[in-house]
Amino acid sequence: MPHASLPPAQRRTILGEGVAVGVATGAYGISFGAVSVAAGLSVLQTCALSLLVFTGASQFALVGVVAAGGAPISGALTAILLGSRNALYGLRMAHLLDFHGWRRAAAAHVLIDESTAMAVNRPTTAEARLGFLTTGIAVFVLWNLATLAGALAGTALGDPRTYGLDAAVGAAFLALLWPRLADRRHQVVAVLAAAVALGLVPLTAAGVPVLAAAGVALLAGLLTGRRTAA
């Protein structure tokens, strides 16, 4: 086992931290389940998204586009753009975790913000693997259970517009992104992306403004990366 050499106290600490992050993050799946059903997806479709896609922000983006009347393909493209950051995580984590074969493929499915954060600063491969796997699996299991609970609760409520749940998609997505706005650069990008999206709302079909806003973020990332490299 990759963490067999770790002292018991250190192993317990890492396990506790991973499970704690899993509980805090996984519980938010209730919101996704509810807003997804409110957007018009079935319970089965909602649960399939959490099982197969499992990238919180991308899932909220997809159901947000669908809720606004956009085509599913627009929602899927938006989700792919937001989820592309995970590929960048993979470039760093592949060397750090040193998984091979089917283990690397399996680990890729739980490569998310939280599992990456719990592994990237560990000084050894054993610690990084334990932090990554504990957090990733904890979030995955609890997120999916919470998604099912939220979807069933949303279905039981009936017409979501009666309770204002049709507006919950945007609110939940904003809450998910809010912690990332502490950095001034992120604030500027968010304002520019929002301005572009709002400007396109009366001119384009539903879903296009979200894609354009994502394009603003990607362009900002490319320009910032070039400046840093220079």
CA distances from 36 to 53, 81, 135 (A): 14, 19, 24
Pair 174, 187 in one domain: no
Per-residue confidence in pLDDT tens, the chain, 230 aa: 444 577 888 888 889 988 988 888 888 888 889 888 888 888 999 999 999 988 887 888 788 777 777 777 777 777 777 777 778 788 888 888 989 899 998 999 998 888 888 888 788 888 899 999 999 999 999 999 999 998 998 777 665 556 555 555 556 556 656 766 778 888 888 888 889 888 887 887 655 676 777 778 778 777 776 555 55
* CB of 112 closer than 8 Å to CB of 144: no
Based on the fold, state whether residues 173 and 76 are members of the same structural domain: yes
The SS3 assignment for 111 reads coil
CA 38/CA 32 separation, integer angstroms: 10
Q: What is the pLDDT of residues 86-129, one digit of tens each?
A: 787 888 888 889 898 999 989 999 988 888 888 887 888 888 99
Residues 168 and 192 in one domain: no
pLDDT of 144: 94
Residues 130 and 190 in one domain: no
Domain that holds residue 218: 183-230
Separation of alpha carbons 147 and 32, rounded Å? 6
- One domain, residues 189 and 222: yes
Q: Look at the chain and report how many structural domains it folds into.
A: 2
Instruction: Verify that 39 and 150 share a domain, yes or no.
Output: yes
Give dist(CA 28, CA 171) in Å, integer. Answer: 13
